[in-house]
Amino acid sequence: MKLFVYHTPELTPTGKVPECAIAVDVLRATTTMATVLAAGGEAVQVFSDLDHLMQVSESWPAEKRLRAGERGGAKVPGFDMGNSPLDCTPDIVKGRRLFISTTNGTRTLQRVQDAQFVLAGAFINRSAVVKYILEKQPETLWIVGSGWEGSFSLEDTACAGAIAHSICQKTQLSPDEIAGNDEVINAIALYSQWQDNLLGLFHYASHGKRLLRLNCHEDLKYCSQADILDVLPMQQEPGVLKRY
């Protein structure tokens, strides 16, 4: 197995698709997706375009759908919810499909949607992601961070490092043996430095600061927890993720 880390979807090689891809948007899209499915949501369907989301979701009964729209960290007017995982409680999401469009994370999922296996990863479900990877042993594995509008983000790269670090621990392989690119070593180093203070790292991150300005302190705390959900969002058809 060769592991590749890409800081943003724009940095992935053109014309290539891995056997397995993990999309990561810690703050907050992939964290929210895992939370929705853990709370009994029927599925999560992702869109880069808000108008397309509205059009497709119209075909679903109102009581069976939720529309989540986020731009710049804030909820889009007219949508049921923004991108806060704390809003995804069982009484709200159970049995419903979440139609979601966010600034960064949904774009990442669309970039890798042609991979044979597509997963959504975050700190909260890291152990579930790693367990699946060790079972499947894909020949090529990409971990693709969402970044922020095309640029590097601390939290997504640290999460990629957390996944890679755990794979190394459980296989007893060195980072050098699994790394397909230098970014893997970089991501592991970042995670190793901050693993005991992920919330502190989020306070340094540009998007973490953006969310703090929007009074999303509790979101940061929730997103910084590791291995609290045994749930794996997996793509069942392009753009649609269900609990594996």
Decide if pLDDT at 105 tops 90.
no
Q: Which tens digits make up the pLDDT trace of 134-192?
A: 999 999 999 999 998 889 999 999 999 999 999 999 999 999 999 999 999 999 999 99
Position 244 in a domain: no
On whether residue 71 sits in a domain, the answer given is: yes
Task: Determine contact, residues 155/29, Cβ cutoff 8 Å.
Answer: no
Domain count, the chain: 1
Tokens 């961070």 locate to: 145
Let me know if residue 198 belongs to a domain: yes
Contacts of 199 (CB under 8 A, 6+ apart): 220, 221, 224
Q: Is 161 a domain residue? A: yes
Look at residue 243 and tell me if it is in a domain: no
Residue 241 covered by a domain? no
Residue 97 scores a pLDDT above 90:
yes
Q: What is the pLDDT of residues 188-244, one digit of tens each?
A: 999 999 999 999 999 999 999 999 999 999 999 999 999 999 999 999 999 999 999
242 in any annotated domain? no
CATH number, domain with residue 39: 3.90.1560.10
Q: Residue 106: pLDDT above 90? A: no
Residue ranges making up the domain that contains 129? 2-236
Does residue 89 fall inside a structural domain?
Answer: yes
Could you tell me the pTM of the whole model?
0.96
